[in-house]
Protein backbone atom coordinates (compact mmCIF):
# COMPACT_ATOMS: atom_id res chain seq x y z
CA UNK A 1 0.00 0.00 0.00
CA UNK A 2 1.18 3.40 -0.88
CA UNK A 3 0.66 6.34 1.43
CA UNK A 4 -1.76 9.01 0.45
CA UNK A 5 -1.22 12.67 1.08
CA UNK A 6 -0.96 13.22 4.83
CA UNK A 7 -3.17 15.80 6.52
CA UNK A 8 -3.12 17.42 9.92
CA UNK A 9 -5.64 16.15 12.42
CA UNK A 10 -6.92 19.71 12.98
CA UNK A 11 -7.78 19.96 9.27
CA UNK A 12 -9.67 16.68 9.40
CA UNK A 13 -11.65 17.77 12.45
CA UNK A 14 -12.42 21.15 10.86
CA UNK A 15 -13.71 19.39 7.73
CA UNK A 16 -15.91 17.04 9.75
CA UNK A 17 -17.35 19.94 11.77
CA UNK A 18 -18.25 21.87 8.65
CA UNK A 19 -19.52 18.80 6.80
CA UNK A 20 -21.99 17.92 9.58
CA UNK A 21 -22.80 21.56 10.54
CA UNK A 22 -21.42 21.16 14.06
CA UNK A 23 -19.80 24.61 14.30
CA UNK A 24 -23.01 26.36 15.30
CA UNK A 25 -23.91 23.81 17.97
CA UNK A 26 -20.39 23.80 19.38
CA UNK A 27 -20.45 27.60 19.60
CA UNK A 28 -23.70 27.42 21.56
CA UNK A 29 -22.06 24.97 23.93
CA UNK A 30 -19.07 27.31 24.34
CA UNK A 31 -21.43 30.15 25.26
CA UNK A 32 -23.14 28.01 27.90
CA UNK A 33 -19.81 27.00 29.37
CA UNK A 34 -18.57 30.61 29.48
CA UNK A 35 -21.69 31.87 31.32
CA UNK A 36 -19.90 31.68 34.69
CA UNK A 37 -16.93 33.66 33.39
CA UNK A 38 -19.19 36.39 31.99
CA UNK A 39 -21.64 36.86 34.88
CA UNK A 40 -19.49 35.65 37.77
CA UNK A 41 -19.79 32.78 40.23
CA UNK A 42 -22.50 34.33 42.40
CA UNK A 43 -24.87 35.01 39.51
CA UNK A 44 -24.13 31.64 37.89
CA UNK A 45 -25.08 29.90 41.12
CA UNK A 46 -28.67 31.18 40.72
CA UNK A 47 -28.93 29.98 37.11
CA UNK A 48 -31.22 26.97 36.80
CA UNK A 49 -31.00 26.24 33.09
CA UNK A 50 -30.04 27.80 29.78
CA UNK A 51 -31.15 26.91 26.28
CA UNK A 52 -31.33 28.33 22.78
CA UNK A 53 -34.29 28.74 20.48
CA UNK A 54 -32.88 29.95 17.23
CA UNK A 55 -30.57 32.82 18.09
CA UNK A 56 -32.33 33.70 21.37
CA UNK A 57 -30.71 32.59 24.62
CA UNK A 58 -33.20 31.74 27.40
CA UNK A 59 -31.83 31.83 30.95
CA UNK A 60 -33.90 30.58 33.90
CA UNK A 61 -32.91 32.21 37.18
CA UNK A 62 -34.25 31.38 40.63
CA UNK A 63 -33.70 34.89 42.02
CA UNK A 64 -36.08 37.71 41.02
CA UNK A 65 -33.61 40.33 42.16
CA UNK A 66 -30.83 38.90 40.02
CA UNK A 67 -33.23 38.54 37.09
CA UNK A 68 -34.04 42.25 37.30
CA UNK A 69 -30.37 43.21 37.63
CA UNK A 70 -29.26 41.10 34.66
CA UNK A 71 -32.17 42.38 32.55
CA UNK A 72 -30.69 45.84 32.87
CA UNK A 73 -27.35 44.54 31.59
CA UNK A 74 -28.85 42.46 28.77
CA UNK A 75 -27.01 44.20 25.89
CA UNK A 76 -23.66 44.09 27.67
CA UNK A 77 -24.06 40.38 28.44
CA UNK A 78 -25.10 39.72 24.85
CA UNK A 79 -22.02 41.53 23.58
CA UNK A 80 -19.66 39.66 25.93
CA UNK A 81 -21.14 36.26 25.09
CA UNK A 82 -20.92 36.99 21.37
CA UNK A 83 -17.25 37.91 21.84
CA UNK A 84 -16.64 34.39 23.16
CA UNK A 85 -17.53 32.85 19.80
CA UNK A 86 -16.30 35.73 17.67
CA UNK A 87 -19.54 36.58 15.85
CA UNK A 88 -23.14 37.59 16.61
CA UNK A 89 -24.69 34.26 17.54
CA UNK A 90 -27.05 35.66 20.19
CA UNK A 91 -29.67 38.15 18.98
CA UNK A 92 -31.45 38.47 22.34
CA UNK A 93 -31.35 37.17 25.91
CA UNK A 94 -34.57 36.36 27.74
CA UNK A 95 -34.46 35.98 31.51
CA UNK A 96 -37.16 33.84 33.10
Domain boundaries, the chain: 9-95
pLDDT band of residue 79 (cuts 50, 70, 90) is very high
- The number of residues in the chain equals 96
Please name the residue ranges forming H helices in the chain.
Answer: 9-19, 23-33, 35-39, 41-45, 64-72, 74-85
Question: Is the pLDDT assigned to residue 58 strictly greater than 90?
Answer: yes
Query: Is-contact 13 23, C-beta < 8 A?
Result: no
Q: Model-level pTM?
A: 0.77
9-95 topology per CATH: GMP Synthetase; Chain A, domain 3 (3.30.300)
Q: Tell me the CB-side half-sphere exposure of residue 3, using CA atoms within 13 A.
A: 3
- Give the pLDDT mean for 30-41: 90
Q: How far apart, in whole angstroms, are the C-alpha atoms of residue 72 and residue 43?
A: 14
DSSP single-letter state for residue 6: -
Closest CA to 47 of 1, 56, 37, 4: 37
Amino acid sequence: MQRQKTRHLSDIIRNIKSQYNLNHDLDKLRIKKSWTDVVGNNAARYTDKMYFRGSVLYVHLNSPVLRDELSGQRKLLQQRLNEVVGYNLISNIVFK
